[in-house]
Amino acid sequence: MSISATPIIPRDGVLTIKDGAGTPLSYAIPYSDGDFSLSGLVEDQTTVQSFRNRGRTYAIRKVEDQDLEFSFTCHAHAILGDGATAGLYDVLGKKGVWAAATSTLPAAAGDAFCVSLTFTAERSNLGATSDASVVLKYCRISGDFQEGVPSTFSISGTAYAYSTDYLTIT
């Protein structure tokens, strides 16, 4: 397996949102600014708690699963879709062609609507064996709209550590 020595830049990346159906609905984020951010990556995705005796640390224990936070910005070329093609709010609000979207979170685990978010970076055309990807499986996503030139959506969310498959990096 070879890796590329070429740095990843915004034009290498693609963000895609999918629902949890067997044949998932898929929405590739159009016109993104290339500012995808993922926070909270640590060894085994666990928070820790330190314990002190009169101000001196004597133990550090793994405590609970650590969720990940993410954000990105994209241009607002459409708010709602046209009935055949989704707009970003269709995806966020389960509207239009996304009205029947299925959560990636199993029904037995709760009633929150979650989606998967995949960041794929082109690497194979730049000397690597394959493209790089980060898949966040149980995401709750929210968006803010800002009017401007261009108008934009600021998207943020949490990838929940529901099960061991919630984060896949290849």
Summarised one tens digit per residue, pLDDT across range 80-111 is: 888 889 999 999 999 999 999 999 999 999 99
Domain boundary assignment for the chain: 10-169
pLDDT, tens digit (0-9, with 9 covering 90-100), for 20-58? 999 999 999 988 889 999 999 998 899 999 999 999 999
Q: Which residue has the higher pLDDT, 1 or 67?
A: 67
What percent of the chain lies above the pLDDT cut of 90? 68
pTM recorded for the entire structure: 0.88
3-state secondary structure the chain: CCCCCCCCCHHHEEEEEECCCCCCCEEECCCECCCCEEECCCHHHEEEEEEEECCEEEEEEEEEECCEEEEEEEECCCCCCCCCCCCHHHHHHCCHHHCCCCCCCCHHHCCCCCEEEEEEECCHHHCCCCCEEEEEEEEEEEEEEECCCCCEEEEEEEECCCCCCCEEEC
User: Residue 129 above 90 pLDDT?
Assistant: no
pLDDT category at 1 given cuts 50, 70, 90 is low
10-169 CATH fold: Pnp Oxidase; Chain A (2.30.110)
> What integer is the mean pLDDT of 116-141?
87
CA 63 to CA 160: how far, in whole Å?
16
